Chains A and B, each alone.
Chain A
Amino acid sequence: MELLRQRFGLGIAALSGVVGYAIASYVRSQPWQASDALWLRIDALSAIFLMVMLLSLACLTGLARLAWHKYAAFGTLLLAFLSPSLVLICLAFLISTLFWHYDLLKSRRFVALAGQLAPSLLLCCAWLGMGASNGVWNYTARSAGEALASWVFALTLGATLLGGHSLLRHSLPDWLRLRSVQAEQHSEALDWPNSLFGLAWLYPLLRLYSFGPWNNGWSLATLLAGCALCLWSVSQSFQARTTLAETGLVYGWIGLAIATAGLGSATGVSAALVALICIVWLQSALIVLEQHRNEPIQLWLISGAVPITLPFVAVWLAMSAALGAGVLLAAGAFWLLGLSSAIAILRLAPKRTDELFDISWRSFWQGSGLLASLSLILGLWMPGLLDQIILPVARQLQGGLTPYGDLTIWPWLGISAVNSGRQPIAALPSLLLAALMLVLCALAWLTARLFERHNDDQ
């Protein structure tokens, strides 16, 4: 039964990946707007979020048993991405949070419920208040840029930070902690469905670029909040001695996504979206690792220490976004996060295997090998992925972005980051590296044979 559910989840994940990719390619050149229904509109940003949330749902289905109201929560959330109407977006976030914490409602724990609803209420205050004061009810409206005031921005950023289940979680008393009843009953390890659901909260923040350009203060505030989250997670992961779930690694990655979104360049937005995809992958990898602790697992492939895997590419993108914007200290924070997340995964005991290709078929089908190869494939194909579905988001949000950092795809068979003067500042030739590594593997094997024969002769 367990295996059947995992296979089912795998199937849904593949299906949702394909569907999301298809939608994203369809709206690549221009957004799709229903001709007779003005409340229905899909652009590249909505398409990516549809894909990410569908993938999260598939992971949750495959890895745990979910109650009906969790599915309902995801269903309503998807509606938020399909509409340009501010009222509909706020309502969808509010109702889906209600569904997600339905158990709190049923057990009449209203104080805890209010804590959970706080981000949605903040979002409603911000966006509906903006509508009421300026008459802007639609993010495609012409006067949307003028309506975007500092208080709207601050409330939206607050909603994102709270909704990402990050800030309040460790610093406030129990009744306010953003944890579901189920998680409280078990251990902190079971908190992960919330962190996947929390990914959706980056949508309102990134959507603000559709309204118009941000001012420098807003970018700085977002960057500071994101970097603080990164560094907090780094310190946690170096202190933790026992399990991975406690390290708050995923919260650091959410911090990375928020910080890069704050950089406000094409590279920054792409880095934030790749970080989202990486979080879904990383979270599933962590769960699979927890579930199969005693089997030989190729940890180094999952850790992101290898130059062409998904976590590595995500950190590389974030760092080149920070370099392009000239914020070197943020690049340092991202680098530390990448390093600590690699080391935290490598610290998982026990590790027995020392052979390069020692992945048993059983563990492969149970996820660890599959996740490792998925990370390799996504990392290798990242230039194509950026070109097809992620950079179109930056192109469609162009009006709100700054020119400090852009990406060019396929020079040297990989990705290259350029600064505002179109000068290359960082290069990741993923396909070339892979090809050269294959050639060098053959050479190394030949050399090893040569020395071996020499040994035998002696």
Chain B
Amino acid sequence: MINDLLAMLGQAWPRLLLYPGGVCALVVLWLWLALHKQQALLRNTSQSAWLHCVPPLLLISLLPLRGAVELGQSLDLFVALCLAEWPLFRALASQTSLNERSLGQILQGYSLLIPSLLLLADLNNSFLLGAQTASPIVWKWDKLGLRWLAVLGWLLALFPLCKLGPFQDERSLSLAEQLRILAHLALISLPLLALLHDYVWLMPLVPIGLGLAVYAGERWLRSPGFWLITIKLVRGALWLGLAWLACQALLERAL
């Protein structure tokens, strides 16, 4: 067993030190901070606070991204998500009293995140991260639609979870929490890239969507009511999709 462990560590070091973790992750983190004009965070973070960056960094290092060293297997979504969420739970544990508003936002995020991840897992027949990057050979319109719905739900869930858009508050985020946002973005890039890879003609939809989002941003993005309704609608659609798949599976097993 010790041999296995050492062999694994030997295989994993380029991931930990160079790409996707290590130097690469630090550079991306620096760019992200520079975008928000918060480079000082890197210097002002104490050593023990740096330790809280370890789990999201580990997740980024183990992601099955293209060009990274093969490790044989991959983590599953549940473990990956818990690694990414460590800074959040740390922050919750150390707050003197849990802010009701932030708790509500977390619940709102998870009520979208859980059904969308389960939907993806059901469509890919696996919970592993590696399976989320592969696209099946035969696409049916219903499965494709459900897949887009799941990714949309996931994307929407990131707004309340990472306090983006109308969910922003005044509290400045720590280094670990910034890294958490990056880990979330890296994680959602896996199914998004898998979806776009087989359908290159869908690529133009991304800038169009972004343009629409910016246009919508002028009018609706700042109004919480719009978000609440969207989240409720998508959540309902996700649970309906899950229930539909469950019924199909039940019928298959019964017949």
Contact = CB atoms under 8 A, between A and B. Distances in A.
Interface stretch (B4-12, B139-147, B184-192, B224-232): B4-12
B246 to A, nearest CB: 6
Given A303-B89, A343-B92, A416 B12 contact: no
A51 B231 CA distance: 46
Interface stretch (A18-26, A168-176, A448-456): A448-456
Contact of B127 (A329, A346, A426): A426
A300 B43 contact: no
A310 to B, nearest CB: 14
Interface string B1-45: 100110011001000110001100010000000000000001101
Contacts of A435: 5, 8-9
A454 B50 contact: no
A447 B25 CA distance: 13
B73 A300 contact: no
A307 B54 contact: no
Contacts of B245: 328
Contact of A445 (B22, B51, B82, B95): B51
Contact of B76 (A238, A350, A426, A448): A426
A138 B119 CA distance: 44
B9 A328 contact: no
B92 to A, nearest CB: 5
A353 B94 contact: yes
Instruction: Pick the most buried of B75, B78, B85: most chain A CB atoms within 10 A of its CB.
Output: B78
Instruction: Pick the most buried of A303, A305, A350: most chain B CB atoms within 10 A of its CB.
Output: A305
Contacts of B78: 315-316, 319, 335, 426
Given A328-B118, A412-B72, A412-B73, A425 B93 contact: no
B55 A437 contact: yes
A385 interface: no
Given A424-B73, A433-B58, A448-B47, A342 B89 contact: yes
Given A305-B85, A335-B78, A428-B76, A444 B50 contact: yes
A349 B54 contact: no
Contacts of B92: 300, 343, 346
Interface in A296-342: 299-300, 303, 305-307, 312, 315-316, 319-320, 323, 326-329, 331-332, 335-336, 339, 342
Contact of B43 (A343, A349, A411, A455): A455
A425 B43 CA distance: 41
B5 A346 contact: no
Interface string A62-85: 000000000000000000000000
A2 interface: no
Contacts of A216: 253-254
B192 to A, nearest CB: 21
Interface in B70-108: 72-76, 78-79, 82-83, 85-86, 89-90, 92-98, 103, 106-107
A413 B73 CA distance: 11
A347 B102 CA distance: 12
Contacts of A445: 47, 50-51
Contact of A451 (B42, B54, B93, B95): B42
Interface residues of B, number: 68
A432 interface: yes
A382 interface: no
Nearest to A330: B246
Nearest to B252: A326
A427 B128 CA distance: 7
Instruction: Pick the most buried of B43, B52, B118, B125: most chain A CB atoms within 10 A of its CB.
Output: B118
A48 B228 CA distance: 48
Interface string B157-172: 0000000000000000
Contact of A305 (B82, B96, B114, B118): B82
B53 A419 contact: no
B104 to A, nearest CB: 10
B82 A449 contact: no
* Interface residue range, chain A: 35 or more
Contacts of A443: 16-17, 22
A232 interface: no
A403 interface: no
Interface in A351-397: 351-356
A413 B98 CA distance: 37
Given A343-B92, A440-B58, A452-B47, A323 B127 contact: yes
A440 B243 contact: no
A439 interface: yes
Nearest to A322: B118
A111 interface: no
A429 B75 contact: yes
Given A332-B115, A440-B54, A445-B50, A425 B128 contact: yes
Contacts of A352: 96
A410 interface: yes
Nearest to A440: B54
Contacts of B122: 326, 328
A335 B114 contact: yes
Interface in B221-255: 242-243, 245-246, 249, 253-254
Nearest to B57: A440
Instruction: Pick the most buried of B5, B9, B54, B93: most chain A CB atoms within 10 A of its CB.
Output: B93
Instruction: Pick the most buried of B21, B82, B254: most chain A CB atoms within 10 A of its CB.
Output: B82
B51 A441 contact: yes
Nearest to A309: B82
B136 to A, nearest CB: 14
Nearest to B26: A447
Contacts of B125: 419, 423, 425
A221 B162 CA distance: 39
Given A332-B118, A439-B9, A455-B43, A346 B93 contact: yes
17 contacts: A216-B253, A303-B89, A306-B82, A307-B55, A320-B127, A335-B114, A343-B103, A343-B106, A351-B93, A411-B73, A423-B126, A426-B128, A428-B79, A433-B79, A439-B9, A441-B51, A443-B17
Q: Which 4 A-B pairs have the closest CB atoms?
A: A305-B89, A448-B50, A300-B93, A426-B76
Given A329-B242, A455-B43, 8 more contacts: A300-B89, A306-B86, A307-B79, A332-B242, A346-B92, A350-B97, A410-B4, A439-B16
